[in-house]
Amino acid sequence: MIPAGFEYHRPADLTSAIGILQEHGDEARVVAGGHSLIPMMKLRMAELGHLIDLQDIDAMKGIAVGGDTVTIGAMTTQHELIVHDGLGAALPILREAALQIADPQVRYVGTIGGNVANGDPGNDMPGLMQCLNARFDLTGPDGSRQVAARDFYEAAYFTAREDEEILTAIIIPIPAPGTGSAYIKQKRKIGDYATAAAAVLVGDGTASVAMTNLADTPIWSEAAGAALAAGDIDGCAAAMLGAIDPQEDMRGPVAFKKHVAAVVLRRAIDSALSRRS
């Protein structure tokens, strides 16, 4: 559990960070909260020459709640999401999900940016961001661009982010007033990834549904959302079950995961519907 040697960088601004990425190419990785990367380094499953710590870049921190959107700096911790004054009212599902990530110690350090950028299928935020139709700000040597969360995830640990880009912020549209939402996660214990988790938004004739850790990417199903928007819960569940592709692991066999996925999804739908106004 001892990582191989590496150079540690702690730039104070984004330009410097990108410069270091450019200089060292795929020898370099950025680290936010480090809860995914550092264990991989300790296991020597990730070996890299240069670690770029982003924690001194103030421009990547903070939460701005606007009229139509919420903008969250990538280096904002899960804890900051939970305790923020206006965020809970604008996006109650974000707080609900953040409270189900790991434990308080992890949430004090773990960031939303690290959670969405790493492409780990176990992370909770990617599926939620797809449900909310969030966009990610990516900044590289040639400037900034935005990528929709629904287009970002390609495979486990593979995303639309280029090697020399840094995910700097997350822009989330605020759902229409009266929209009901719920994030339900089944896990084995505190600190575990989901056996199955569902993010559900239900508004007036609209719906969005995404699930986590049931494929090598988060699964947002347009058909499932459309069915739910039309009030067809069975159709929503059927569409989602058709889209997921869970693998057997220590959490259980495929049949169990599919069964639990349907149960968790239906419970999230029930909860979201009950919160609609």
State the residues that interact with another protein by CB under 8 A.
1-2, 4-5, 44, 103, 186, 188-193, 195, 250-253, 255-256, 259-260, 263-264
Which burial class, exposed, middle or buried, applies to 44 when counting CB atoms under 10 A from its CB (0-12, 13-18, 19+)? Answer: exposed
Torsion over CA: 134, 209, 152, 187 (sign): positive
User: For the chain, where are the alpha helices, taking DSSP H only?
Assistant: 14-24, 37-42, 78-83, 87-90, 92-98, 104-109, 112-117, 125-132, 149-152, 222-229, 233-243, 254-275
DSSP-derived pairing of the beta strands 69-73 and 63-65: antiparallel
Q: Which is nearer to another protein, 61 or 266 (CB)?
A: 266
* Least distance from another protein to the Cβ atom of residue 258, Å: 11
Contact 170, 74 (CB under 8 A): yes
Q: Which is nearer to another protein, 1 or 277 (CB)?
A: 1
Contact 38, 45 (CB under 8 A): no
* Least distance from another protein to the Cβ atom of residue 195, Å: 7
Q: Which is nearer to another protein, 61 or 187 (CB)?
A: 187
DSSP 220: E
CA 199 to chain centre: 11
Gap between the Cα atoms of 109 and 193, Å rounded? 17
Q: Which is nearer to another protein, 44 or 276 (CB)?
A: 44
* Least distance from another protein to the Cβ atom of residue 150, Å: 28
* Least distance from another protein to the Cβ atom of residue 2, Å: 3
* Least distance from another protein to the Cβ atom of residue 267, Å: 9
* Least distance from another protein to the Cβ atom of residue 111, Å: 20
Q: Which is nearer to another protein, 50 or 145 (CB)?
A: 50
Q: Which is nearer to another protein, 83 or 255 (CB)?
A: 255
Residues β-bridged to residue 31: 53
